[in-house]
Amino acid sequence: MGEKWNIRIWGTRGSLPMTGRDYLEYGGNTSCISVDCKDELIVFDGGSGLMNLAKELIRQEKPRPLRLFFSHSHIDHMIGLMGFSPFYRKEWEIHLYGEAREGLSFRRQIERLAGPPYWPMGLDDLQAKIHIHEIKPKDALMAGPDIAVKTMRGSHPGNVLLYSLEGQGKKVVYSLDCEPDEEMLRQMADFSKGADIIFWDAQYTPLELKDKAGWGHSSWKQGLRLRQMAQADKIVMAHYSWEYTDEILKAQEEEALKEEPSCCFGREGMEFHI
């Protein structure tokens, strides 16, 4: 089975980061999840939670190759880039993965956000060794000697990539910002088959989702269906609406647990070991 993978949630929120006492239990930072495979550090999305990951990496003082995979370039998934301190240290080597969108290369998307006029420094000013990789749906690539990353097209305005990370007898699926119909849900079940953990978009309650058709998000109910269809061990909800307080999410979690006792509503700082 190899070394254990240590997985940590750094951001659970969708659309916008939130602060305040109503967001303490589930967290207010936007999407970011790390998978530490010992020799490889793999990160999904660069939301505001990425900055807290940066603090931990600097504290550890153990630079190593880092691979950051973006689901898409909406700002809530990239806003942590500017504050990612390893970018500004020459001992770090960082690989960024994402797809071309709306006529812009992946590199150009990063330059538009993390550079003038919105940020004083551009990619060429960073001290770390930066490698930019443009990927697409149905790609398969290696993120280490025995760790494979596969991609799948999801349903979201402007498109989105879903990710499967597999190796050493383990499998993690990252599937945020997706509004699947029945056919896509079946495809996702095949993509996620036998996963140890699926991270799922639970942006809206099942009731509110009915009024948000076409917005590119899902609810915990669809997530529970996917877990069963994929025969996955665990499904972890994330990407909660910025409007949902701890009280709202707690009520949703209690409702979900009645249907599936193994259901997990992710919290910022939560860790999993597989």
Residue 262, SS3 per DSSP:
coil
Cis omega (within 30 of 0) for bond into 145: no
pLDDT of 115: 84
- pTM of the entire predicted model: 0.96
Q: Which residue ranges form the domains of the chain, and what is each CATH number?
A: 6-273 (3.60.15.10)
pLDDT tens for each residue of 140-198: 999 988 999 999 999 998 899 999 999 999 999 999 999 999 999 999 999 999 999 99
Phi and psi at 128, nearest 5°, equal -70, 160
Instruction: State how far the Cα of 124 lies from the Cα of 222, in Å rounded to an integer.
Output: 43
pLDDT of 1: 57
